[in-house]
Amino acid sequence: MRLLPAYILSLAGLAGNPRSTRSLPFKAADDRILSIRRCATAKLSEEAKRIIAATQPAFVATASKNGKPNVSPKGSFKVLDDEHVAFAEIASPNTIANIKENPQVEVMVFSPDTWGGCRIKGKAEILESGDLVESFKAQFAPMKMKVRSVIKIAVEEVAIMPPMKAGSKK
């Protein structure tokens, strides 16, 4: 019988339910099944907000209209409200070019200490003026970093990834 890692079973929605795996030609290689919990709505849970506030940088993935990917770390990534996150564009020409062609993005907020975090999918919008842009400019001015624009992301889907490292708190 083939053994599959627990996380694969959880991604397939089979974790923790012996009936769902009884007729399959494999079983979990680990009894410690950790599932990825998806929010039913497009709102950030309090848990997701805590993860984002505690973890830097976030990694933003974009793709051009032709599918050429780009992943870029964002130390300015933060929660705006229950339905929006944002980051400052300081030196990200590939990210900006991709968003102009294809506004769909995915953000990975990952803690190397716990191997947990969250993933956020959404639609990005480039802002070049307004209160939000001015607040990011003021935040980064003391560090002599020029904010060119702000990327505001409307959250469409959130997945919480529980800690997977031994000794990590859930």
Fold type of domain 36-161? Pnp Oxidase; Chain A (2.30.110)
Name the residue ranges covered by the structural domains of the chain: 1-35, 36-161
Higher pLDDT, 106 or 6: 106
Would you call 4 helix, strand, or coil by DSSP?
A: strand
Across 25-47, average pLDDT: 55
Q: What is the pLDDT of residue 88?
A: 97
pTM across the whole model: 0.74
Q: For the chain, give the percent of residues with pLDDT over 90.
A: 62
Burial class (CB in 10 A: 0-12, 13-18, 19+), 81: exposed
Whether 10 shows a pLDDT value over 70: the answer reads no
Strand partners, 152: 86, 125
Whether 135 shows a pLDDT value over 90: the answer reads yes
Across 16-21, average pLDDT: 40
Would you call 86 helix, strand, or coil by DSSP?
A: strand
Task: Write out pLDDT tens, residues 57-66.
Answer: 999 999 999 9
Whether 96 and 126 have beta carbons less than 8 Å apart is answered as yes
Across 121-150, average pLDDT: 96
